[in-house]
Amino acid sequence: MTDSKYFTTTKKGEIFELKAELNSDKKEKKKEAVKKVIASMTVGKDVSALFPDVVNCMQTDNLELKKLVYLYLMNYAKSQPDMAIMAVNTFVKDCEDPNPLIRALAVRTMGCIRVDKITEYLCEPLRKCLKDEDPYVRKTAAVCVAKLHDINAQLVEDQGFLDTLKDLISDSNPMVVANAVAALSEIAESHPNSNLLDLNPQTINKLLTALNECTEWGQIFILDCLANYMPCDDRESQSICERVTPRLSHANSAVVLSAVKVLMKFMEMLPKDLDYYGTLLKKLAPPLVTLLSAEAELQYVALRNINLIVQKRPEILKHEMKVFFVKYNDPIYVKLEKLDIMIRLASQANIAQVLAELKEYATEVDVDFVRKAVRAIGRCAIKVEQSAERCVSTLLDLIQTKVNYVVQEAIVVIKDIFRKYPNKYESVIATLCENLDSLDEPEARAAMIWIVGEYAERIDNADELLESFLEGFHDESAQVQLQLLTAIVKLFLKKPTETQELVQQVLSLATQDSDNPDLRDRGYIYWRLLSTDPVAAKEVVLAEKPLISEETDLIEPTLLEELICHIGTLASVYHKPPSAFVEGSRGVQHKRLPARAVITLVKRTGLSGSNMGAGLGVAPAAMPASLGGAPAVGGGLGDLFDLGGGVGMPTGSYVAPKTVWLLAIKAKGLEISGTFARRGGIIQMDLSLTNKAMSVMTDFAVQFNRNSFGLAPAGPMQVLTPLSPNQTIDVSLPLSMSGPVMKMEPLNNLQVAVKNNIDVFYFSCQYPLSLLFVEDGRFYRQVFLATWKDIPNDSEAQFQIKDIHLNSDVASNKLQGSNIFTIAKRTVEGQDMLYQSIKLTNGIWVLAEMRIQTGNPNYTCTVPRIVYASLLHSQ
């Protein structure tokens, strides 16, 4: 007899019948009836009308019946809140049952009843269960706190459940620890700054102990939690790595990948010359390879992550190319990912093998895959210079197959090869030209036209070829039309005598007969250029172009770092930072890889001297270099006070007056003055552009060179109207911190390029470091002193700020406006001591002590110290 019998009664009076059965005296009949009700529920039938009758069955000593009723309750309580209250008593009673299974079941079900009215009644039983003698009940109760928090967060906080939950991290039972961690992690996701998971060496030790003994799922929670910890030095980091490594041999692939995440992150702190560092690198390869023998879905997620890992640390998998070879029956999503990784791993040593494989794939059935394989050959050529020739000949072989889409794809990539290695492979052009007629995709046609234009002087019948395209000009896509226009102009500049007619024809087609504005504008530009100054036209159109490189395919380094911290998550599958797409995670914090990055920054500042403090994890003396040492910044701090000396001025970030950055005589009439400001957490560059020339300026654009903190424009510069002579426009350019990082001298130097219709101009300016002080720079008061003491004495700097007539409170307020937070204040012998903290956008903490003698206009600012991010607290 099977459960399908429960579906057979679909008669009209079904509900009525069930009602009668539910109220039957016979236990067995009751149970059967509840089963029927559940079965109807599972297929989406509405049986909520039976609510009171089902709840009546709840008071039973039959466990199965109880479970079934609970199942029903969870489903329908929401729609019948008043009725659901009837169930409360039974829950409370069950929570005291001698059988721990019943107690756990009750507390588990309670949490699933998402009715506000009921939750209040459940606090007491839950509190008891959290302290139950039986660990099975405690672990169930831990999860219940997370459920309750989801329904009513305030209630959970008021009742102090979060503290009880934190205590459970020290529980003697590993399963309880794991569930407490899981619950806290889930709650923390909606409270980014709550510091719920306060990780310190003691708790870490407890977690590591529990890690060995809890279930596979618990291991995942614990490992993911560990990954958020910042070890204070390389020794601690190594000891955590050693204890996590055995997880790499776990049968559950999610455990393996979470362990990989912890190792990839903490490895960052280990000195590269350490033996253990090499050992660890070797240990990482086999588990990653093993992930690829799992089911296709697991492979896919693994491959997306491996893609990140090989970009960060190519050495781990450099000898494992073969495992990424594509198998005939791999699903398409696995095939495409493998292909991508093959290219990333391609090097001079293995390129022959890779090319042979790619050529094989180019004859497969799946068109998408074939296309990507052909593209991959082109990417290999661009990546591995020595292989370019072999790649080109492979592509030519493929063109010989005359398979239409293969030929087209090959031509597109050969164009890119030309852009990387100009004037090297023109011999193949003849072969390409033979296939001209078969090209029907715009991208391939455009590529071919580009090649003809670029090498017009070496193709005898270039004019004929281009002319043949011109015949159907209006039927072509915009991409092809634009290419055709440019190619013909190039041809004309190279062979002016024979092609005058052709160029006139294309210019008139583009400017008069087309309604595409891009095409028309480009047509006019060429036309004017050609008619006013052919020499200049030649310089512009035939100018030498920068070479392309493989870097265009790589993930930008700061994003890559963040993604490495998120290995195994959705972010790693989509290769996007979690803030970009996860809904409901308010204010996701950007995670960063720890340590060495910071230490190297310090090293480069050159002032840090002997004790690099790797052993202590403290990066010493960096601050004097960047703040105290550099007079510009010492002054900058003074500036923060200068703010008009104004009493009653609204506190806010200090903004320096604009200074002239670019002189008009140096920039063909364009004068730029500007300053930087931090408004509501957003860094802005305020610019005034003045046109001191005689003609109108348009097409403004701006770009930054790499700089110490990765400042970059967050969007294009918005200059909407043309700038007429003697006009000034004010522009505010929001900046992001996601640009490429390179240490500058001085540290706060920024090199800027501004382009307009006339030329490109370069200037450099310096931004105040206070620009980088973030709003959540308040260090934890409890640990401030301990941290302060932990910093070695020789990593301090001292300087005086003169002539400030403010008392300590006003000064403190003023500084707070610039995100310098006063953590504590002490008065000793007529001196006010302010203890302050600052956090920079890249996670560096600065601690400072400021001494103010009443009546003395000179402040002594002692010891700006830098502590390595999150030394004692973790995010």
Partner 1 sequence: MIHSLFLINNAGDLFLEKHWKSVISRSVCDYFFEAREKAVEPDNVPPVIRTPHHYLINIYREKIFFVSVIQTEVPPLFVIEFLHRVAETFQDYFGECSETTIKDNVVIVYELLEEMLDNGFPLATESNILKELIRPPTILRSMVNTITGSSNVGETLPTGQLSNIPWRRAGVKYTNNEAYFDVVEEIDAILDKSGTTVFAEIQGVIDACVKLSGMPDLTLSFMNPRLLDDVSFHPCVRYKRWESERVISFIPPDGNFQLMSYHISAQNLVAIPIYVKQNISFFETGSSGRLDIAVGPKQTMGKTVECLVVTVHMPKVVLSANLSATQGTYNYDPVTKILLWDIGKLNPQKLPNLKGSLSLQSGAPKPEENPSLNIDLKIQQLAISGLKVNRLDMYGEKYKPFKGVKYVTKAGKFQVRT
Applying the rule CB under 8 A, the residues between 474 and 533 that interact with partner 1 are none
Stretch that binds partner 1, among 202-210, 216-224, 379-387, 490-498 (CB under 8 A): 216-224
Burial of 103: CB neighbours in 10 Å, binned 0-12, 13-18, 19+: buried
Stretch that binds partner 1, among 339-347, 551-559, 583-591, 863-871 (CB under 8 A): 583-591
The dihedral region occupied by 283, where left means phi > 0, alpha psi between -120 and 50, and beta the remainder, is alpha
Q: Tell me which of 159, 179, 675, 836 binds partner 1, using CB under 8 A.
A: 179
Minimum separation from the CB atom of position 360 to partner 1 (A): 6
665 touches partner 1 (CB under 8 A): no
300 touches partner 1 (CB under 8 A): yes
Rg (CA), the chain: 35
Structure tokens at 658: 């604009």
> Based on CB atoms, which residue is closest to partner 1, 258 or 675?
258
Give me the half-sphere count of Cα atoms (radius 13 Å) on the Cβ side of residue 677. 17
Give me the half-sphere count of Cα atoms (radius 13 Å) on the Cβ side of residue 375. 14
Do 68 and 36 touch, CB atoms closer than 8 A? no
> Based on CB atoms, which residue is closest to partner 1, 140 or 307?
140
Minimum separation from the CB atom of position 199 to partner 1 (A): 19
Minimum separation from the CB atom of position 60 to partner 1 (A): 11
619 touches partner 1 (CB under 8 A): no
Compute, in degrees rounded to 10, the torsion defined by CA atoms 269, 272, 275, 281.
80
Question: Where in 804-833 is the site for partner 1 (CB under 8 A)?
Answer: none
Q: Tell me which of 129, 301, 838, 852 binds partner 1, using CB under 8 A.
A: 301
Using CA atoms, how far apart are residues 765 and 632, in angstroms rounded to an integer? Answer: 12
582 touches partner 1 (CB under 8 A): yes
Stretch that binds partner 1, among 41-49, 409-417, 418-426, 764-772 (CB under 8 A): 41-49
CA 23 to chain centroid, in Å, comes to 58
10 touches partner 1 (CB under 8 A): no
Stretch that binds partner 1, among 200-208, 254-262, 659-667, 848-856 (CB under 8 A): 254-262
Provide the residue type at 172 as one letter: S
Q: Match 């039309």 to its residue by tokens.
A: 481
618 touches partner 1 (CB under 8 A): no
Minimum separation from the CB atom of position 379 to partner 1 (A): 21
CA 618 to chain centroid, in Å, comes to 27
68 touches partner 1 (CB under 8 A): yes
Minimum separation from the CB atom of position 859 to partner 1 (A): 46
Structure tokens at 160: 């102090």
Minimum separation from the CB atom of position 123 to partner 1 (A): 17
Q: How many residues bind partner 1 (CB under 8 A)?
A: 104
Using CA atoms, how far apart are residues 158 and 155, in angstroms rounded to an integer? Answer: 5
Question: Where in 336-375 is the site for partner 1 (CB under 8 A)?
Answer: 357, 360, 363-365
> Based on CB atoms, which residue is closest to partner 1, 360 or 385?
360
Q: Tell me which of 246, 609, 716, 830 binds partner 1, using CB under 8 A.
A: 246
Do 453 and 482 touch, CB atoms closer than 8 A? no
437 touches partner 1 (CB under 8 A): no
Using CA atoms, how far apart are residues 1 and 10, in angstroms rounded to an integer? Answer: 19
Cis, bond preceding 722 (omega within 30 deg of 0)? no
> Based on CB atoms, which residue is closest to partner 1, 336 or 662?
336
Candidates 585, 541, 591; CA nearest to 565 is 591
Minimum separation from the CB atom of position 248 to partner 1 (A): 9
Using CA atoms, how far apart are residues 712 and 706, in angstroms rounded to an integer? Answer: 8
Q: Tell me which of 13, 46, 52, 64 binds partner 1, using CB under 8 A.
A: 64
Question: Where in 117-146 is the site for partner 1 (CB under 8 A)?
Answer: 134-136, 140, 143-144, 146
Q: Tell me which of 9, 13, 16, 27 binds partner 1, using CB under 8 A.
A: 27
DSSP letters for 346-366: --TTTHHHHHHHHHHHTTSS-
Q: Tell me which of 56, 62, 80, 831 binds partner 1, using CB under 8 A.
A: 62
Candidates 655, 694, 656, 693; CA nearest to 671 is 693
Stretch that binds partner 1, among 178-186, 420-428, 618-626, 849-857 (CB under 8 A): 178-186
Minimum separation from the CB atom of position 190 to partner 1 (A): 9
Contacts of 346 (CB under 8 A, 6+ apart): 321, 354, 380, 383, 384, 387
Helix axes 500-512, 462-470, angle to 10 degrees: 30
Minimum separation from the CB atom of position 125 to partner 1 (A): 17
Question: Where in 386-425 is the site for partner 1 (CB under 8 A)?
Answer: 401, 403
Q: How many residues does the chain have?
A: 875
252 touches partner 1 (CB under 8 A): yes
Candidates 112, 137, 138, 107; CA nearest to 124 is 107
> Based on CB atoms, which residue is closest to partner 1, 212 or 807?
212
Minimum separation from the CB atom of position 2 to partner 1 (A): 4
Q: Tell me which of 100, 192, 422, 442 binds partner 1, using CB under 8 A.
A: 100
Contacts of 443 (CB under 8 A, 6+ apart): 408, 412, 479
Q: Tell me which of 46, 96, 216, 775 binds partner 1, using CB under 8 A.
A: 216
Q: Tell me which of 69, 111, 355, 750 binds partner 1, using CB under 8 A.
A: 111
> What are the residues facing 822 on neighbouring strands?
836
The three-point CA angle 289-294-299 to 5° equals 75
Minimum separation from the CB atom of position 290 to partner 1 (A): 5
Mark residues 184-213: x for contact with partner 1 by CB under 8 A, - for none: --x--x-----------------------x
- In 129-174, at which residue ranges do the beta strands (DSSP E only) sit? none
16 touches partner 1 (CB under 8 A): no
> Based on CB atoms, which residue is closest to partner 1, 138 or 415?
138
> Based on CB atoms, which residue is closest to partner 1, 33 or 429?
33
Using CA atoms, how far apart are residues 489 and 452, in angstroms rounded to an integer? Answer: 12
Mark residues 540-579: x for contact with partner 1 by CB under 8 A, - for none: ----------------------------xxxx-xx---x-
- The H or E element containing residue 505 is helix 500-512
Structure tokens at 415: 């164009």
Question: Where in 257-286 is the site for partner 1 (CB under 8 A)?
Answer: 257-258, 286
Using CA atoms, how far apart are residues 526 and 509, in angstroms rounded to an integer? Answer: 13
Give me the half-sphere count of Cα atoms (radius 13 Å) on the Cβ side of residue 456. 25
Q: Tell me which of 83, 85, 86, 112 binds partner 1, using CB under 8 A.
A: 112
Stretch that binds partner 1, among 293-301, 461-469, 548-556, 734-742 (CB under 8 A): 293-301
> Based on CB atoms, which residue is closest to partner 1, 207 or 619?
207
Minimum separation from the CB atom of position 323 to partner 1 (A): 7
> What are the residues facing 730 on neighbouring strands?
688
Q: Tell me which of 97, 150, 233, 550 binds partner 1, using CB under 8 A.
A: 150
Q: Tell me which of 19, 45, 235, 250 binds partner 1, using CB under 8 A.
A: 250
Using CA atoms, how far apart are residues 564 and 284, in angstroms rounded to an integer? Answer: 14
307 touches partner 1 (CB under 8 A): no
Three-state DSSP at 495 gives coil
Sign of CA pseudo-dihedral 390, 393, 397, 402:
positive
Q: Tell me which of 9, 16, 20, 42 binds partner 1, using CB under 8 A.
A: 42
Helical spans, DSSP H, in 9-134? 14-22, 27-42, 51-56, 63-76, 81-94, 100-112, 116-130
Stretch that binds partner 1, among 52-60, 174-182, 471-479, 815-823 (CB under 8 A): 174-182
Three-state DSSP at 684 gives strand
